[in-house]
């Protein structure tokens, strides 16, 4: 048993990074639990473990009394003094009760209990390490790709990326390094469960914080993000300090900053939009690269009617209505895009009113156009 204890402590300490002191305390608790279970022992016990040899000694804790009522927890004065000459009435002494055959009978059981307790210590360490890091960007290595989840190694912990948090256009393979958003950390019967995401729009925010010092130090703020993962995103930014160009800060010299983010999200197109407090101005900018001629707002319905030149109608709408939907998601307004020509026609006749309209928001896009 001594050899098994010593080998297990050394191996687990090196492989799992658990301090030897923690392992020794864990082994003590395991030995105590197995002793009580094996010998059906009641009362309080302590275990001493020689860290050099692995030899375990089991002590029963007994209160010294005049008259013994419970032999599991009490010992008479005369018996106590034979075990410990310094024993006095009311004191607690330790009596060695290590059985000679304990090593042979319980070694394997002790090892199993010990490993279980070490797993619990390991799980607690992982949970404590990650519980306050929800919403952070972390780098992991793909371990396995399964039909419904991707297993990502985060240091000594494993995280899962469910299908709902994967990007359809991305292909994951074992050994691949990925930046992922730590979305959720929770306890489960099998240990802590870490859930990561590549779809969450907060991933974009964290990537820009890394690439753009002005965002990291707070002089430029990301106000809103709308995203179709793997395809296209719009990011609204505002300067919090006079004299700073928020869009230029995010784009970087020759576009290097935004390109680094695009590379990390595997070529997803990213439009950087300057935030505006005025809803009409913000909605017009959100439809970039299309140029709006005018924006009319219905505050009660929170609907914006945007007029664009006929030649830019398809650009404003985007392929399958994508640009219009992203603009609506970014601004929080329902966006109705019309060409100037159709508006003039509608003013002259009620017939076919709104035939050129493109709705973005709760209603799906119905007019097909070129990709924005």
Candidate from 161-165, 276-280, 308-312, 338-342 with smallest mean pLDDT: 338-342
Q: Is the dihedral of CA 205, 207, 209, 213 positive or negative?
A: negative
Q: How many domains does the chain have?
A: 4
Q: Which domain holds residue 265?
A: 201-275
Which pLDDT score is estimated for 357?
A: 41
Q: 114 vs 197, which has greater pLDDT?
A: 197
- 246 and 267 together in one domain: yes
Please indicate, yes or no, whether the overall pTM of this predicted structure exceeds 0.95: no
- 119 and 17 together in one domain: yes
Average pLDDT over every residue of 342-351: 63
Question: Per the structure block, which two tokens stand in for 6?
Answer: 């010593």
Q: Chain-wide mean pLDDT for the chain?
A: 86
Please report, for residues 112, 196, 287, the alpha-carbon distance to residue 41 in angstroms, rounded to integers and kept in the order given: 20, 46, 76
Which pLDDT score is estimated for 352?
A: 42
Average pLDDT over every residue of 343-357: 52
Instruction: For tokens 């009660």, name the residue.
Output: 300
Average pLDDT over every residue of 355-359: 42
Q: What CATH code is carried by the domain that includes residue 208?
A: 3.30.300.20
Query: Is residue 353 scored above 60 in pLDDT?
Result: no
Which pLDDT score is estimated for 322?
A: 95
Nearest to residue 199, comparing CAs of 236, 173, 172? 172
- 255 and 358 together in one domain: no
- 22 and 117 together in one domain: yes
Q: 284 vs 5, which has greater pLDDT?
A: 284
Query: Is residue 172 scored above 60 in pLDDT?
Result: yes
- 25 and 122 together in one domain: yes
The pLDDT confidence band at residue 364, using thresholds 50, 70 and 90, is very low
- 8 and 125 together in one domain: yes
Query: Is residue 268 scored above 90 in pLDDT?
Result: yes
- 88 and 14 together in one domain: yes
Strand partners, 294: 307
The H or E element spanning position 171 is none
Checking 338-344 for CB contacts under 8 A at 24+ apart, the result is 338/305, 338/306, 338/307, 338/308, 339/307, 339/308, 339/309, 339/310, 339/313, 340/293, 340/307, 340/308, 340/309, 340/310, 341/310, 342/310, 343/307
Which pLDDT score is estimated for 371?
A: 37
- Residue 293's contacts (CB-CB under 8 Å, 6 or more residues apart) are 307, 308, 309, 340
Query: Is residue 256 scored above 80 in pLDDT?
Result: yes
Residue pLDDT, tens place only, 99-146: 777 656 566 777 777 778 778 888 888 899 899 999 999 999 999 999
Instruction: For tokens 């990074």, name the residue.
Output: 17
- 34 and 90 together in one domain: yes
Please report, for residues 165, 208, 239, 329, 365, the alpha-carbon distance to residue 247 in angstroms, rounded to integers and kept in the order given: 28, 12, 9, 19, 28
Average pLDDT over every residue of 41-45: 89
Instruction: For tokens 């304990």, name the residue.
Output: 102
The H or E element spanning position 227 is strand 220-228
Residue pLDDT, tens place only, 299-335: 999 999 999 999 999 999 999 999 999 999 999 999 9
Q: Is 69 exposed, middle or buried (0-12, 13-18, 19+ CB in 10 A)?
A: exposed
Q: What angle do CA 12, 13, 16 make, to 5 degrees?
A: 65
Domain-terminating residue out of 107, 129, 151: 129
Instruction: For tokens 């687990």, name the residue.
Output: 12
- 109 and 152 together in one domain: no
Q: What CATH code is carried by the domain that includes residue 6?
A: 3.30.1480.10
Which pLDDT score is estimated for 117?
A: 77
Instruction: Say if residues 288 and 327 touch (Cβ distance below 8 Å).
Output: no
- 102 and 21 together in one domain: yes
Dist. CA 356–CA 341, nearest whole Å: 10
Nearest to residue 205, comparing CAs of 194, 216, 219? 216
Which pLDDT score is estimated for 351?
A: 44
Candidate from 102-106, 198-202, 217-221 with smallest mean pLDDT: 102-106
Q: What CATH code is carried by the domain that includes residue 168?
A: 2.40.50.140
Domain-terminating residue out of 88, 109, 129: 129
- 270 and 347 together in one domain: no
The verdict on whether omega for the bond into residue 63 sits within 30 degrees of 0, i.e. cis, is no
Query: Is residue 50 scored above 90 in pLDDT?
Result: no
Query: Is residue 22 scored above 70 in pLDDT?
Result: yes
Residue pLDDT, tens place only, 53-91: 777 788 999 999 999 999 999 999 999 998 889 899 999
Which pLDDT score is estimated for 102?
A: 66
Domain-terminating residue out of 129, 145, 165: 129
- 181 and 149 together in one domain: yes
Instruction: Say if residues 94 and 60 touch (Cβ distance below 8 Å).
Output: yes
């Amino acid at each position: 048993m001594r050899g098994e204890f010593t080998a297990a402590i050394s191996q687990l300490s090196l492989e799992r990074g658990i301090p030897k002191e923690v392992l020794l305390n864990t082994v003590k608790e395991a030995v105590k639990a197995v002793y009580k279970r094996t010998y059906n022992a009641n009362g309080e016990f302590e275990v001493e473990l020689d860290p050099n040899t692995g030899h375990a000694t089991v002590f029963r804790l007994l209160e010294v009394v005049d008259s013994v009522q419970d032999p599991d927890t009490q010992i008479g004065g005369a018996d106590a003094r034979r075990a410990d000459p310094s024993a006095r009435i009311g004191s607690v002494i330790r009596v060695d009760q290590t059985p000679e055959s304990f090593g042979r009978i319980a070694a394997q059981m002790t090892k199993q209990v010990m490993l279980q307790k070490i797993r619990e210590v390991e799980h607690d360490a992982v949970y404590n390490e990650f519980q306050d890091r929800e919403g952070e960007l972390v780098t992991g290595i793909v371990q396995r790709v399964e039909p419904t989840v991707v297993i990502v190694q985060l240091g000594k912990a494993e995280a899962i990326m469910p299908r709902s948090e994967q990007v359809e256009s991305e292909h994951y393979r074992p050994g691949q390094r990925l930046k992922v958003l730590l979305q959720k950390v929770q306890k489960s019967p099998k240990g802590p469960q870490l859930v990561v995401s590549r779809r969450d729009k907060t991933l974009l925010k964290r990537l820009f914080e890394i690439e753009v010092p002005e965002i990291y130090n707070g002089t430029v703020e990301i106000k809103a993000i709308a995203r179709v993962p793997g395809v296209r995103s719009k990011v609204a930014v505002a300067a919090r300090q006079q004299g700073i160009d928020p869009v230029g800060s995010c784009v970087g010299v020759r576009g290097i900053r935004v390109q680094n983010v695009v590379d990390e999200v595997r070529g997803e197109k990213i439009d950087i939009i300057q935030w505006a407090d005025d809803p009409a101005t913000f909605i017009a900018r959100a439809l970039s690269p299309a140029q709006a001629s005018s924006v009319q707002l219905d505050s009660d319905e929170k609907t914006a009617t945007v007029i664009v030149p006929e030649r830019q109608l398809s650009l404003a709408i985007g392929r399958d209505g994508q640009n219009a939907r992203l603009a609506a998601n970014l601004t929080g307004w329902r966006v109705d895009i019309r060409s100037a020509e159709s508006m003039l026609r509608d003013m002259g006749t009620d017939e076919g009113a709104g035939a050129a309209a493109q709705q973005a928001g709760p209603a799906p896009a119905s007019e097909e156009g070129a990709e924005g």
